[in-house]
Amino acid sequence: MSDDRPTAETADATGATVAEPDASAEPDPDHDDGATTTGTADRDELDPADASLVVEDLAKRFGGIDAVDGVSFSVERGTLTGLIGPNGAGKSTTFDLITGVHDPDGGRVTFEGRDVTGYRTAEIADEGLVRTFQIARELEEMTVLENLMLAPRGQSGEKLLNAVTPGLRGRVREEERELRERVWETLELFEIDHLAEEYAGNLSGGQRKLLELARALMVDPSMLLLDEPFAGVNPTLEEKLLDRIHELREGGLTFLLVEHDMNLIMEHCERVIVMHQGQVLAEGPPAEIRSNERVIDAYLGEDV
């Protein structure tokens, strides 16, 4: 852990977000009327104070490929924002750069006013910015319950350290009890409590997606990045997941969602960012994006 960082003055952005709906957060799909002239990204639209996440000029090269090539956008706090683009557009790499999976070659990531560029994934999770990860092989051999019990510690080195420090065992035991309660609440939220004792490796594709989301929530995020969370999920379960996502958003969570299904994005997201060939092609409300010529061109010949 680096010790030169300020302590958690932004911690209020996490915590009780689920319990306290923001009365002023009524989404207004028309609030961006008047900005319909151009499809290019216009970062100045959003008051920086309202942005949870700000990405500036991010860049990543793999060999000769500019996977992410000067990407800038902001995500407004409390919104469900979509990130779309044809295969290979750089969406997943952008997520990797935001969440410390890869170090960017250039650019900056600011989360709730704090520069988190170059932070490790666990440090970024401690700030409240969390992405879902596929259930790793080791976790397949553990039960759903164990997966959730381990989730917060798996992402936070500090908590693990506390657990092994002598003299803290009493507190750890208390935390263990609270953790167990939260685990069961989360299992019930996703209606997978009946699978608590099942091995993660035995879950169906859709159930796995629920577990991935549940694990991410155990870290108590204020913002979640979801990379194709509905891949391989049947329509019924997809609806259920979307309901959960909307509930959590109404409770104050911010979402950035990568999804292939354009209709789903248009129906559910308040704002949409479109990437193409490592760059942001357009950013705006769904209606504007849907009719944007550059976006339509980018998707021509794509199987969407």
Binding span for ligand ADP by CB under 6 A among 23-31, 81-89, 216-224, 246-254: 81-89
162 is a contact residue toward ligand ADP (CB under 6 A): no
Q: In what order do the strands lie in the sheet with 65-76?
A: 65-76, 51-62, 106-111, 114-115
What is the number of alpha carbons within 13 Å of residue 199 lying toward its C-beta? 9
Binding mask 74-93 for Mg ion (x = CB under 5 A): ------------------x-
| Interatomic CA distance for residues 97 and 105, integer angstroms | 9
Binding span for ligand ADP by CB under 6 A among 91-99, 162-170, 185-193, 286-294: 91-99
Residue 110 burial (10 A CB sphere; 0-12, 13-18, 19+): middle
Nearer CB in complex with ligand ADP: 67/179: 67
Helix (H) or strand (E) run with residue 255 in it: strand 254-258
Q: Please enumerate in sequence order all residues whose Cβ is within 8 A of that of 109, keeping only pairs 6 or more positions apart, or say none.
A: 53, 54, 55, 56, 58, 97, 98, 115, 116, 117
Task: Tell which one of 46, 51, 67, 210 touches ligand ADP (CB under 6 A).
Answer: 67
Task: Tell which one of 21, 70, 88, 157 touches ligand ADP (CB under 6 A).
Answer: 88
- Least separation in angstroms between residue 92's CB and ligand ADP is 3
Residue 212 burial (10 A CB sphere; 0-12, 13-18, 19+): buried
214 binds, among ligand ADP, Mg ion, none (CB under 5 to 8 A by kind): none
Task: Tell which one of 3, 87, 170, 301 touches ligand ADP (CB under 6 A).
Answer: 87
90 is a contact residue toward ligand ADP (CB under 6 A): yes
- Least separation in angstroms between residue 273's CB and ligand ADP is 12
The answer to whether the beta carbons of residues 282 and 289 sit under 8 Å apart is yes
Nearer CB in complex with Mg ion: 92/156: 92
Nearer CB in complex with ligand ADP: 215/276: 276
Task: Tell which one of 10, 72, 92, 121 touches ligand ADP (CB under 6 A).
Answer: 92
93 is a contact residue toward ligand ADP (CB under 6 A): yes
Per-position DSSP letters for 53-101, written without gaps between them: EEEEEEEEEETTEEEEEEEEEEEETT-EEEEE-STTSSHHHHHHHHTTS
- Interface positions with ligand ADP (CB under 6 A): 62, 65, 67, 85, 87-93
